[in-house]
Structure 1
Amino acid sequence: MNELFGGRFAPITDTIGFLRCNPDRAVEAFLSWQGDVQSQRGVELEASTAQVDLSEALPKLLPLTSVERRRFLFVPTRSDWTAFVDNGHEGTDAFSHISYLAEQIGCDGVRATWVPEERPGQWPATVLELYGPEKTDFLNTIRSIAVSFDGSKWFFSADGEVQSFEEVSRYKERSIKKRFDGSLLDTYLRHLGISMFDESFFTPTGARTTLVEKFGPIAPAAQEFGLKMR
């Protein structure tokens, strides 16, 4: 199982969000939501588009920042899903953005996370969350499956409505980390029409990515970071 771009753009691509709508609709909803929020603190949002490959678009998120995210990328794919990443220094915040936008747009949303066990300096994790346009027992989360390691112990959780494509027998594995790994995440995502670990899945020929940037005051405690070099 290989990371997207061999992990070259981690932690940005450790987590990727997806919305089942066209990129223009996703950007429009994001600007409407965040434009109102950010204007109250004197921050303006600007969106720019470019016809570039994902490997060319991702560096535009740099530098990564702590405390608040300053840049957001909406990426077309070879499907009806739009991909989303941001410049958070610990990875993309797909939960906050994708779950909210899925409800506002009225579409499905996905958060997918994979940090491999072999990665130095980070705790491994595999997460899949599915969001919908309607309220559920927990916000609008339809299904959540996760395996993670906190430095001393492995944890597994599975909540919400079991999906037809799930290999639920795997969840009984004696080894917790084998219950839901990167390979199984990839299998589940492909059932949804998402090829997260295939570079050719993103930015089809002629499509344009959209970068949304904040301009104005930044949180006082914010710091800037580069990529974690491989």
Structure 2
Amino acid sequence: DIVIVRELTSGSYFGEPRGIFKEGNERVGINTHRYTESEIERAARSAFELARRRSNRVCSMEKANVMEAGVLWRDVVTEVHQADYADVELSHMYADNGAMQLVRAPKQFDVILTDNLFGDILSDCAAMLTGSLGMLPSASLGAPMENGRPKALYEPVHGSAPDIAGQGKANPTACVLSFAMALRYSFDLGTEATRIETAVEKVLADGVRTADLLQADGDTAVSTTQMGDAIVAALTTSL
């Protein structure tokens, strides 16, 4: 049970200058890994607030050993922690070691805080701990609105998979769990979110599998609708 808090609006994907330029007789591709203190602070506060609602642990990942942006990231995260979140356990790890540790011993992590580029890589690495991208929910959370709720977009981690559209093969679990995240983080309905997550766990424990989760050649896959119906049945049973 890991949550990766990935900063989404800056870093290598948006920094300037960027582009493909002519340099002498050859082309050069440039992307700028750029972060401001306020961008890092915003992501750090999100991670610490989330940790307080979970296991009170944050591991921040960057490359402070070779990147100045990583040095600033570590400094700002530490400053925010010392100023306002000393009750939360904070550790730091280089992102490449973090990828290895996710594979080696994933249970050591609870909330992982990282930047845009490393978050992209680490979240896909963590995805396969579950066996399939079809299992993973996600939330893009912004600043709180006047009602106190964050601006938010909840969706499965995976893409739309047009190659299997209409074939009944898609795993609906990530979509269902994304709704559970919406209940927990936008509507403060943690009990209801847990009921949905528990229903999903029961269905998986009972051996119900869509095609992406089959473990052996002799296993039989259920359809998208059948998987959804099984989750609803498990949820109804828990009422």
TM-score normalized by structure 1? Answer: 0.31
Higher Cα radius of gyration = 2
TM-score normalized by structure 2? Answer: 0.30
Higher strand fraction (1 or 2)? 1
Higher relative contact order by CA 8 Å / sep ≥ 6: 1 or 2? 1
Higher helix fraction (1 or 2)? 2
